[in-house]
Structure 1
């Protein structure tokens, strides 16, 4: 059997073993456990998927780490805004490689204890326990939480929600003035990322942050059916964002394209998962007048292309 074929078979068997392990853990009573994620110790629920996604041979999280490392190398430090912080893993792995600070936004009380355990003692990390909306309206319907082993989804509904607090991007900046120099924004909110990218590129325009976000039409159309995904690219072009690097949801590089082409290129997400061969996109965009941000895209693309 050729080495390349044998390697694929071994990789596939390992993938099956990891998935079976994750399914088994999901059936056990949950409890906090210590795990090492990309070399960084942190506390997770026993059935959390991070150890699976970051198992040996995978690229998950490496793009974010490289974006932060490159920005800090260019500018001395990096300020990170983590929207949908979950257990604080983004802040932990990025700041492990890059000097700087972070503001973690996470509305689901399920994750607040893990955030407190993982980042609560870090003087350079602040936590906001609210749903982020923005930039200048808090008009939302009743909010409810849909949980899964890896994270939480916030869904809107007409009846009374669970009393989740909300904060606008403008109010967030007022509360955490260090965000006036935010250089890396991560958004992972299972559907609200389109509107949040729109909001953060307005509120934090002065610092021209690199914005890394999940792009998945399925939850987007579920929670915000009126949103036209293609409109986001036009807004980003208008605000000076000219380049996008795209990975699949496992962190493998898919492309490096002008933002002006993204409306056409993102049409691939209308195909079924079976047709395109992966779940969704992770996208990083940088401003045309941000040489450090553009260099960070180069570094992140190179790091994941080499894998």
Structure 2
């Protein structure tokens, strides 16, 4: 039986679930860093980082956003991305490489990730800055822990729990870009994106033309009521909301207005079904766009 390209790709993807943990274990024991290419830019990753596996498995993973940000940068205003939860700077490096004017403010509190973040954005030092610390506070959750290639404020588990008593506040971050910049708030802080947005909405909404957040209500770690607070805030903001799945495929564009409430609640329920049954689409990306940003992306 001959295998077509689709079947071969499926077999490789399934095999990766078995081979990747072994490869991670070997690299970790050898303390072997990974050299990886993102959009033509070489970056260095920790031995345990899973980004190469994710992108081999799903080639569209994490690529679509660079194209959207590049399109925004074709307008008259310089784009500045506030990258909250920058991890090792893989997204920052790709964004900086894509457009010669775009600036990125990377925010990260994990000391291990920070060492790689500094290295990966160093070639763009004229447009890249790093803020060391965690964005918050969010409720009573103050213990951070790392879990492989990601980290967050989980209740239990992870490596070397770290109690956080000094926080980077959104108000301080949005004050950094020049007044004329088109500002993008990009948030990937597993389980707390919704809560930071809910509790600091006025500050973020008033300055950021684009709010790009990971949307994952079933696995959110703070006050569950924050989900409805964010939905109501988005619906009342006059923003267009683009919804992408975790692999960068656009699902729907939600016009400004109260209609967003029912749509986002339906998507929240759908994610719950996905999570309970099979994690095919474990989260969504929301892009909440000001009228100017929406016009640039629709041109």
- Calculate the TM-score normalised by the size of structure 1: 0.81
> How many angstroms apart in 2 are the aligned matches of 1:179 and 1:93?
24
Structure number with the bigger relative contact order (C-alpha 8 A, sep ≥ 6) is 1
> How many angstroms apart in 2 are the aligned matches of 1:131 and 1:15?
34
> How many angstroms apart in 1 are the aligned matches of 2:35 and 2:225?
39
What SS does the aligned partner of 2:45 have?
Answer: strand
1:177 shift after superposition = 4.2
Report 1:84-163 matches (<5 A). 84-98=85-99, 99-120=101-122, 122-133=125-136, 138=137, 141=140, 143-155=142-154, 162-163=163-164
1:285 shift after superposition = 1.6
What SS does the aligned partner of 1:132 have?
Answer: coil
Q: Does the CA-based 8 Å contact 2:174-2:207 persist in structure 1? A: no
1:33 shift after superposition = 2.3
Q: Which residue of 1 aligns with 2:193?
A: 193
The CA deviation string for residues 46-66 of structure 1, in whole angstroms up to 9 with x for no partner, is 231111222386211222101
Report 1:241-252 matches (<5 A). 241=239, 243-252=240-249
> How many angstroms apart in 2 are the aligned matches of 1:253 and 1:118?
29
Between 1:37-46 and 1:177-186, the stretch displaced more is 177-186
1:254 to 235, 251, 256: 251
> How many angstroms apart in 1 are the aligned matches of 2:228 and 2:16?
36
The CA deviation string for residues 134-183 of structure 1, in whole angstroms up to 9 with x for no partner, is xxxx57536222322221112369xx952453021112234x24377352
1:87 shift after superposition = 0.4
> How many angstroms apart in 2 are the aligned matches of 1:50 and 1:72?
26
Q: Does the CA-based 8 Å contact 1:105-1:131 persist in structure 2? A: yes
Q: Which residue of 2 aligns with 1:25?
A: 23
1:73 shift after superposition = 0.8
Unaligned 5+ segments in structure 2 are none
> How many angstroms apart in 1 are the aligned matches of 2:15 and 2:138?
46
Unaligned 5+ segments in structure 1 are 300-307
What SS does the aligned partner of 2:154 have?
Answer: strand
> How many angstroms apart in 2 are the aligned matches of 1:200 and 1:43?
33
Q: Which runs of 4+ in 1 moved over 4 A?
A: none
What SS does the aligned partner of 1:145 have?
Answer: strand
